[in-house]
Amino acid sequence: MQRLTPDGYVEINFSMDAPMKRKNSDGTSFIMINFYLTSRFSDHYFVQPIGAVRMIGIRFFPWGIRPFIKVPASEIADRFLTHEEIFGSRIKALQQMVLDADAPRNAIREIEKYFILELYRQEHDDMIVSKIARRIYDSKGIINLDELCSASNLSVRRIEQRFNDALGVCPKLYSRLAKFQHAMQQLSCTSDDDNLTGIAYDCGYFDQSHFIKDFKDFAGITPQKYLSETHPLNDLKIDSAFVEL
């Protein structure tokens, strides 16, 4: 059973062998379907293989999913949904092509074709919010949000509304999440819990107690406890989180 922490990304996964078991932070659990969409913004959960795992996944930047969906992103935040609930019946053909593909690269080619075509049909893409979200992402959450809002010539309230529509969360929570992700990346490179104070300051936390509180809010455990566990799947996602855009 592996812990997965929030990262703000939206994932679309195609499981081509045995599905996995998911356990939520409230203790509820279920067997995941083979084709699903999930987003992680404020809560952790656990996954456990129940057989051979072979999966193709797509990870959207937090601001990247909105052009492809017809509902506000706030309606999918922190949820586990079927593909059809989000994309409609058109995606059934893609699911079948992925299952029928004789090699992973062919399945990936079909997925890319589908989403490129969908991108041309886009109706929703808030460039102002995308720009602000990218700046928060690039700063790893260490940025003055009031100055960002002022530079956009929009009120704080209006920015919050548009953030909820495009990303599913408000700018303040997204900034906290970006800071937390940066701390997670730092933790993945150390095994020394004596270095936690240095990580807290490097990541823009006021002190170690603020760092621990934020960490527990998102991960469900303290940084010390997290370091005592192994998280191969989470580490893989963290390593791919901060990339050049």
- Encode pLDDT of 8-51 as tens digits: 999 999 888 888 999 999 999 999 998 999 998 989 999 999 99
Q: Is 46 a member of any domain?
A: yes
d(C-alpha 188, C-alpha 182), whole Å: 10
Final residue of a structural domain among 86, 101, 120: 120
* Same domain flag for 172 and 223: yes
Q: 235 and 132 in one domain? A: yes
- Domain annotation covers residue 244: no
Same domain? 132 vs 74:
no
Residue 60 lies in a domain: yes
In what order do the strands lie in the sheet containing 29-31? Answer: 2-4, 45-49, 20-24, 29-31
In the chain, how many domains are there? Answer: 2
- Which is more confident, 150 or 179? 179
Residues 147 and 230 in one domain: yes
Q: Is residue 99 located within the same domain as residue 24?
A: yes
Rounded CA separation 77/40 (Å): 7
Q: Tell whether the torsion through CA atoms of 189, 195, 196 and 201 is positive or negative.
A: negative
Residues 80 and 142 in one domain: no
pLDDT at residue number 216: 95
148 plus 219 within the same structural domain: yes
- Is the separation of the CB atoms in 38 and 119 below 8 Å? no
**Last residue of some domain: 60, 85, 120?**
120
Angle at 239 between CA 228 and CA 133, to 5 degrees: 115
- Beta-carbon count within 10 A of 55 CB: 13
Range of the domain at 98: 2-120
Q: Does residue 202 lie in a domain region?
A: yes
Within a domain: 219: yes
**Residue 245 domain-assigned?**
no
Q: How many CA atoms lie within 13 A of 165 on its CB side?
A: 16
Residue 4's contacts (CB-CB under 8 Å, 6 or more residues apart) are 40, 44, 45, 46, 47, 233, 234, 237
Residue 243: what pLDDT?
Answer: 53
Residues 35, 52 share a domain: yes
CATH number at residue 147: 1.10.10.60
Long-range Cβ pairs for the range 29-34 (8 Å, 24+): 32/80, 33/82
Which residues have a Cβ under 8 Å from the Cβ of 16 and sit 6 or more positions away? 34, 54, 55, 56, 98, 99, 107
For the chain, give the mean pLDDT: 88
What confidence tens digit (pLDDT) does each residue in 110-164 have?
A: 999 998 888 877 666 688 899 999 999 999 999 888 888 788 888 888 889 999 9
Residues 37 and 144 placed together within one structural domain of the fold? no
Sheet holding 35-39, edge to edge: 55-60, 10-15, 35-39, 80-82
Claim to verify: residue 30 and residue 112 sit in the same structural domain:
yes
Q: Are residues 37 and 71 in the same domain?
A: yes
**pLDDT at 22 (0 to 100):** 95
Instruction: Tell me the C-alpha to C-alpha distance, in Å, between residue 12 and each of 68, 85, 87, 115, 139.
Output: 12, 12, 11, 11, 26
The CATH number for 45's domain is 2.60.120
pLDDT tens figures, 67-78:
888 889 999 999
Instruction: Say whether both 98 and 135 belong to one domain.
Output: no
